[in-house]
Amino acid sequence: MKILVSILTALILLSVPAIAATIVDMDIDINNGKLDLTVYGIDTSTWHNGQTGETNELQATGDFKGTYKVNSGNYGALQSYVNLASDTSAEFIMEDWQDFNVMSANHNYNTNGYFYSRSAGNNAEMNIKSIGSMYVWSEATNPYWENSLKGNEIEKNAQTTQNGELITDLYMGVFTDGTAEMYNSNIWGWTNGEHATSSTNYGGGTRTVQATGNGVFVEYGYGKNSLTFNGFTFGGGSSATFSSPFAGGMSGTYSMSAN
């Protein structure tokens, strides 16, 4: 379906089967309103019939336009595509939850993944796809030549839990009175895996963040078993934080992984 949204508030709740099909295809144009979309991937196989493998939620507020598309996949997985840009000022939040017991069909490591991305400001953009598969989930820039996030405020967070216990937690955010941008040399970006692993560098390449103006840069990582943080290796149960105010802009590359 193709939908043009021009109303002030829209709320859509969708439950989709695990067959290869486009189940959401939206053209969006909202003036000073709010959009809240939640899509569930429901497994229709014999492995975890009726259970949710992946959930994708998009929240957008302000004056903005763009597109949102979701395809269903195998075993309750989803393929979600977000391309939004503010006309004046907006906030975009995409969240994704993964149940790897369901998505993997017959692997039962009791791992759940979570991903959070946010951009906000008078020049906010979000160009992200979220792809679930049997053993690993990843986000990526879509299309690859755009910034995955852009705005006065940008954030990403990836986490995994296993048997209800937090195993990994990776976070990065930039808050500035100028413009912050995040992009990848490789199309793929942050990822979670069924063995309770998280990384900012799925598929290799460099991850770059830059900003103009004055603000603060924050980076955090935790790993129950191990943590690598911008080239440093830490033992199990370690966490690392880098936080710095900046003036006149900043730029650099980052790399984090944990298990």
Determine the pLDDT at residue 34: 96
Residue 138 has pLDDT above 90, yes or no: yes
What range does the domain containing 30 cover? 3-258
Q: What is the mean pLDDT of the chain?
A: 92
- Work out the pLDDT band at 218, boundaries 50, 70, 90: very high
Q: What's the pLDDT band for 93 if we cut at 50, 70, 90?
A: very high
DSSP letter for each residue of the chain: --EEE-SSEEEEEEEEESSSEEEEEEEEEEEEEEEEEEEEEE--SSSSTT-EEEEEEEEEEEEEEEEEEEEE-GGG-EEEEEEEEEEEEEEEEEEEEEEHHHHTSS----EEEEEEEEEEETT-EEEEEEEE-SSEEEEEESSTTS-SEEEEEEEEEEEEEETTEEEEEEEEEEEEEEEEEEEESSSEEEEEETTTEEES-TTSS-EEEEE-SSEEEEEEEEESSEEEETTEEEETTEEEEEEEEESS-EEEEE-EEE-
Q: What is the pLDDT of residues 102-131, one digit of tens each?
A: 999 999 999 999 999 999 999 999 999 999
How many folded domains does the chain comprise?
Answer: 1
- 10 pLDDT band, cuts 50/70/90, is very low
Q: For position 20, what pLDDT does the model report?
A: 59
Confidence class of residue 17 from pLDDT cuts 50, 70 and 90?
Answer: very low
